[in-house]
Amino acid sequence: MTDPRLSELARQLPALKLSTDPGDLEHHGRDWTRRWAPAPLAIAWPSSIEDVQGVVRWANAHGVGIVPSGGRTGLSGGAVAAHGELVVSLDRMNRVLAFDPIDRILTVQPGIALEAVQNAAQEQGLLYPVSFAARGSCQIGGNIATNAGGIRVIRYGNTRQWVAGLKVVTGTGELLDLNRGLIKNASGYDLRHLVIGSEGTLGIVVEATLTLTSPPPASQVMLLAVPAMDALMKVFAEARHRLRLEAFEFFTDRALHHVLAHGAQRPFDDTHPFYVVTEFDAADEQAEADALAFFGLCMDEGWVADGAIAANEAQAAALWRLREGITESLAPHKPYKNDVSVRISAVPAFMAEMEALLAEGYPHFDVVWFGHIGDGNLHINVLKPTDLDNATFVAQCEHVTALLVDTLARHGGSISAEHGIGLVKKPWLGSVRSDAEIALMRGIKAVWDPRGIMNPGKLL
Ligand code: 2HG
Ligand code: ZN
């Protein structure tokens, strides 16, 4: 460590693992966005809460920014370190600490992968229900920092709903023990919920107590081919009415094109404008009959042109791959990502307006729509044409974002549904939050992090 500040840190916290190896700086300085060149000062791997506190106090003393780092699967630049920050990786704090069968709560360290949390719940015969494609590599601390959503929000809500307690080191190095697993706690401001979704700008989550639930009964997975968006909304309304839904996801023919090119299996002979993957309870014969009646009605009404139902787990996984494999299949095309939400009822009008704007202004762009239609959450990925350089492409996409922001405003929507503001959507925060709200956010940030060292430049 040639930097005297780092030598001091190493002396103060002998158990802290530190690295300035160029490979580590590169790897830990970025997330799934590839727009910013990573340039952190160093990477620190604490293995205890005390070390996290020590790092934060050191950062205050030296005015060094801290970027908390989980699985770095973020899509908004929230975990990018491009300006000499210290990246604090939670990789070494990745254990399950406790399970209480009476409270049905699981206490974990922040660096545990989401999938490991799901597995730990399963070992207890229970379910941690938040789930999405990055579950194998994303970490619970990052899920909490972004209030991650995913594919089962329609049934179980966002991460926020499952956090019963949080230990947090604030921007001054203070340790807070928030809510302690209580179900009822009417004692003033719930600071736990302020931390959830704060994108690492207030403090570092160092322990989380998660509520578990009973696993759902056996389910069925169905794929539907849908001719039009209006029909798709009718299918959704009918599915929600007749079935107990666990997921209701959609994607377009362009999304299918890319996921097939990436090795997935073609589901139907013909192509269709839209597809739905839905999963619902099917514990008994009655539930299965309800599912068939639902499918029959959709066919009779002409809302659905074709359908497939998974007969076993392998087929269910193959149908889910068509939806969950989309992000990975688009990655080689360096997509510019949008993650927006409107009220469910506003989805068709919003989509029609955006599609018209995109077709008129950007006919040469391959625009891929998919997402959590049952939550009003749409992912719009614009793919980079191979002949366009990155900077020009991003600049052109930001014009599209301006159109998007206007259209969203008309429909009362949000520029970020579940990925967060980070760096990517920061210029448009003012389109969804009022000046008064942003002033309050800044005030809160100043109290929690008076020296502005916590994930500087992100969100605000
Ligand atoms: C998903 O729903 C994720 O698959 C990623 O939120 C969305 O890649 C995206 O734009
Ligand atoms: Zn999503």
Q: How far is the CA of 6 from the centre of ligand 1 (A)?
A: 37
Cβ neighbours of residue 310 under 8 Å, at least 6 residues apart? 220, 221, 222, 316, 318, 319
| Portions of the chain given CATH number 3.30.70.2190 | 219-327
- In this prediction, residues 7-31 reach a mean pLDDT of 97
Mind giving me the DSSP string for 156-204?
Answer: H--GGGGEEEEEEEETTS-EEEESTT-S---SS--HHHHHTTSTTSSEE
**Which ligand 1 atom lies nearest to the CA of residue 327?**
8
Assign domain 219-327 to a CATH class: alpha beta
Tell me the per-residue pLDDT of 64-100, one tens digit each, with 9 for 90 and over: 999 999 999 999 999 999 999 999 999 999 999 999 9
Q: Between these two residues, 363 and 366, which has the higher pLDDT value?
A: 366
Q: Between these two residues, 193 and 399, which has the higher pLDDT value?
A: 193
Backbone angles phi, psi at 251, to 5 degrees: -155, 165
Relative orientation angle of helices 49-62 and 4-12, to the nearest 10 degrees: 150
| Residue nearest ligand 1's atom 6 by CA | 150
Q: How far is the CA of 260 from the centre of ligand 2 (A)?
A: 19
Low-confidence winner among 93-102, 232-241, 390-399 (lowest mean pLDDT) = 390-399
Residue 361 pLDDT: 81
Cα atoms found within 13 Å of the Cα of residue 73, Cβ hemisphere only:
21
Q: How far is the CA of 419 from the centre of ligand 1 (A)?
A: 8
- In this prediction, residues 365-374 reach a mean pLDDT of 96
Beta bridge partners of residue 392, listed in sequence order: none
**Which ligand 1 atom lies nearest to the CA of residue 249?**
2
Tell which residue, 74, 2, 17, 67, has the closest CA to residue 337.
74
- CA angle 16–79–174, rounded 5-degree value: 50
| Ligand 1 residue neighbourhood (C-beta within 6 Å) | 75, 132-133, 327, 337, 339, 371, 379, 381
CB 196 within 8 A of CB 144: yes
Tell which residue, 340, 397, 343, has the closest CA to residue 367.
397
pTM of the model: 0.97
Confidence at 34, pLDDT banded by 50, 70, 90: confident
Q: What percentage of the chain reaches a pLDDT higher than 90?
A: 97
Q: Looking at the CA of 369, name the nearest ligand.
A: 1
Q: Between these two residues, 20 and 34, which has the higher pLDDT value?
A: 20
Backbone angles phi, psi at 138, to 5 degrees: -70, 155
CB 41 within 8 A of CB 86: yes
The domain defined by 334-420 folds into: Alpha-Beta Plaits (3.30.70)
| Portions of the chain given CATH number 3.30.465.10 | 1-215+430-454
Checking if the pLDDT of 1 tops 80, the result is no
Residue 362 pLDDT: 83
Q: Looking at the CA of 76, name the nearest ligand.
A: 1
Residue 2 pLDDT: 84
**Which ligand 1 atom lies nearest to the CA of residue 370?**
2
| Portions of the chain given CATH number 3.30.70.2740 | 334-420
Assign domain 1-215+430-454 to a CATH class: alpha beta
Classify 253 as helix, strand or coil: helix
Tell me the per-residue pLDDT of 283-325, one tens digit each, with 9 for 90 and over: 999 999 999 999 999 999 999 999 999 999 999 999 999 999 9
Residue 360 pLDDT: 86
| Residue nearest ligand 1's atom 5 by CA | 327
Tracing tokens 């001719």 back to the chain, one arrives at: 227
